[in-house]
Amino acid sequence: MYRRAAPGDGTMQGMTMTPDVTVKVVAAFNRNPALSREEFSSYYEEHHAALFRTKTPPAILAGIPHYVQNVAIELGGAGAQPPYDCVTELGFTDEAALRAWNDWYFGPEGKVLRDDEEHFMDKASRVIIVTAPRHP
């Protein structure tokens, strides 16, 4: 099954088809308190995402067709402060792809990503949930 994915510019122009995933890792976390929201967003989007793409082996990346950084926005008003600065989704083609990612990420080669997370993330705030996506 396939579903449509819109480009990151907020338009529907240039829409592409991406394969559905069978399992997702959803991580909610706050930024490193030393960073402003803008510094956090810029570093995560530009530096860490590029590191993810270049350091993760191609065979592992092939099993991760879905990577989205959902950065929180403040809408103003009472109680509008978001509980997390970001919710990231990694979507995997199957559980074997998730296991391959975990083996790599928690192994010696994945240390480059784990170390980089210290620069922009408050790891103590991080909540990780493994989910089975449903499209009702």
pLDDT in tens, the chain (136 residues): 334 444 444 443 443 445 578 999 999 999 999 999 999 999 999 999 999 999 999 999 999 999 999 999 877 766 678 899 999 999 999 999 999 999 999 999 999 999 999 999 999 999 999 999 887 7
Q: Are 108 and 10 in contact (CB under 8 A)?
A: no
Q: What CATH number does residue 94 fall under?
A: 3.30.70.100
Q: Structural domain tally of the chain? A: 1
Residue 2 is assigned to a structural domain of this protein: no
Distance set, CA 90 to CA 66, 72, 80, 110, 132 (Å): 6, 17, 26, 15, 12
Residue type (1 letter), 119: H
pTM: 0.80
Per-residue pLDDT, 79: 66
Residue 1 is assigned to a structural domain of this protein: no
Residue 57 is assigned to a structural domain of this protein: yes
Per-residue pLDDT, 102: 98
Residue 51 is assigned to a structural domain of this protein: yes
Per-residue pLDDT, 2: 37
Domain containing residue 51: 20-131
Residue 124 is assigned to a structural domain of this protein: yes
Per-residue pLDDT, 80: 73
| CA distance linking residue 52 with residue 90, whole number of Å | 11
Residue 7 is assigned to a structural domain of this protein: no
| CA distance linking residue 69 with residue 72, whole number of Å | 9
Residue 8 is assigned to a structural domain of this protein: no
Q: Are 32 and 119 in contact (CB under 8 A)?
A: yes
Per-residue pLDDT, 81: 81
Residue 69 is assigned to a structural domain of this protein: yes
| CA distance linking residue 37 with residue 35, whole number of Å | 6
| CA distance linking residue 131 with residue 92, whole number of Å | 10
